[in-house]
Amino acid sequence: MNERLTRLLGARPLGFEEPPGGHTRAIRGLVRLDSGDRVFVKMADDKRTATALRSEHHVYSSITAEWLPRLVAWEDGDEPLLVLEDLSASRWPPPWPEDVALLLRTLSEVGATPLEVEPMQPLTSSPWTGIMKNPQPVAALGVVDIEWISDHGPALVERSSAIDLTGSDLIHADLGAENLCFTDRGPVIVDWEFTARGNRYLDVATTMLDYRLAGGIPPRDALPNRGAWAALLAGFMGDQASQPPPPWAADGPYLRSLQRSLFREAIDWTQAELRI
């Protein structure tokens, strides 16, 4: 990787620091250069991470916006190499800003941005449908019990099924505290491998769930149909958290632990909105 970076950047790497967080198995880290600059680097090490990096590069090379990290260099091949600006000195939540109005306006700008990407696939059924058929794994998370699932499952299926994930908006589709930061130029969103055309309120809902988890109170007008979104995210997080760690995740146990925390928060949000 050092030889490739020297050729691409015209500067020699002096050090590599792997930052905390991140679920990808791609090689990733902050590189200090002999020019005095620092950059953030991602390099694929298998077909899955190569595809992900190409998706990210498509976004960075096609859109110029303050809410994107600046693209420094790119090289495709068997092991694609993506070089971005260093955002390590930015403010990564938590803690979140007290006022998330600027973030919400940014998400509106993202949604209105033209870019040719694949459409979001529609939901074929509510995640609560599967949970009701086999409630034990979700009940074992210790957030709700089988009786609670039996009592409220039908209503959760109905409410969450009202959400249509399809649409014409540009969406990140995996947005939360771990892939956005706050800079002097405003919010910046990273990790665009799941980019799609869909319902922009998916990004708002997942971000506001993370905001709630850190103790924030989302503005009441940030999200239409809040109860339905909360029910959908609760079902999704519960279903994911109850499964074995995925082989593609570099930190599978941590990922499932985070999803369990988000499941608990989404259940609290659902109960508050639907009064159950």
The yes-or-no verdict on residue 250 having pLDDT over 80 is no
In a domain, 177, yes or no: yes
From 32, 52, 85, the end of a domain falls on 85
Domain boundary among 33, 53, 85: 85
Q: In terms of domains, do 260 and 175 share one?
A: yes
**Average pLDDT over every residue of 170-190:** 97
- In the structure, what pLDDT confidence band is assigned to residue 252 with cuts at 50, 70 and 90? confident
In a domain, 133, yes or no: yes
Could you tell me if 58 and 132 lie in one domain?
A: no
Range of the domain at 18: 2-85
Is pLDDT at 37 greater than 90 in this prediction? yes
CATH of the domain at 233: 3.90.1200
Does residue 150 share a domain with residue 18? Answer: no
Rounded Cα distance, 72 and 14, in Å: 18
Give the pLDDT score at 23. Answer: 67
Instruction: Report the distance separating Cα 195 and Cα 122, nearest Å.
Output: 15
Question: Could you say which of 85, 118, 137 is where a domain stops?
Answer: 85
Are both 69 and 111 inside the same structural domain? no
Whether pLDDT at 18 is above 90: no
126 and 73 belong to one structural domain: no
Give residue 95's pLDDT: 95
Domain count, the chain: 2
* Mean of all residue pLDDT scores within the chain: 95
- Looking at the structure, tell me whether residues 124 and 231 fall in a common domain: yes
Query: Is the domain of 168 the same as that of 238?
Result: yes
Identify the weakest region by mean pLDDT among 23-32, 51-60, 246-255. 246-255
Percent of the chain with pLDDT over 90: 91
Does the predicted model carry a pTM greater than 0.75?
A: yes
Residue 96 lies in a domain: no
User: 58 and 187 in one domain?
Assistant: no
C-alpha count within 13 angstroms, C-beta hemisphere, residue 237? 29
What are the contacts of 241-247 at 24+ separation with CB within 8 A?
Answer: 241/138, 241/141, 242/137, 242/138, 242/140, 242/141, 243/137
**Same-domain check for residues 167 and 266:** yes
What is the predicted pLDDT for the residue at 196?
A: 98
Q: Is the pLDDT of residue 21 over 70?
A: no
- Per cent of the chain over pLDDT 70 is 98
Q: Each residue of 66-90: pLDDT tens digit?
A: 999 999 999 999 999 999 999 999 9
Cis peptide before 69 (omega within 30 of 0): no
Q: In terms of domains, do 166 and 238 share one?
A: yes
Q: Please check whether residue 94 lies inside any domain of the structure.
A: no
User: What are the pLDDT digits (tens) for 94-141?
Assistant: 999 989 999 999 999 999 999 999 999 999 999 999 999 999 999 999
Q: For residue range 198-242, what is the model confidence (pLDDT) as tens digits?
A: 999 999 999 999 999 999 999 999 999 999 999 999 999 999 999
Is 91 within the bounds of a domain?
no
Residue 43 lies in a domain: yes
Note whether residue 93 is domain-resident. Answer: no
- Is residue 249 pLDDT above 90, yes or no? no
Q: Which residue has the tokens 């090289």?
A: 75
Same domain assignment for residues 242 and 133: yes
Amino acid at 235: G
Flag whether pLDDT at 25 surpasses 80.
Answer: no
CATH, residue 45: 3.30.200.20
Are 130 and 53 part of one and the same domain?
no
Residue ranges in 28-126 assigned as alpha helix (H): 47-62, 101-111
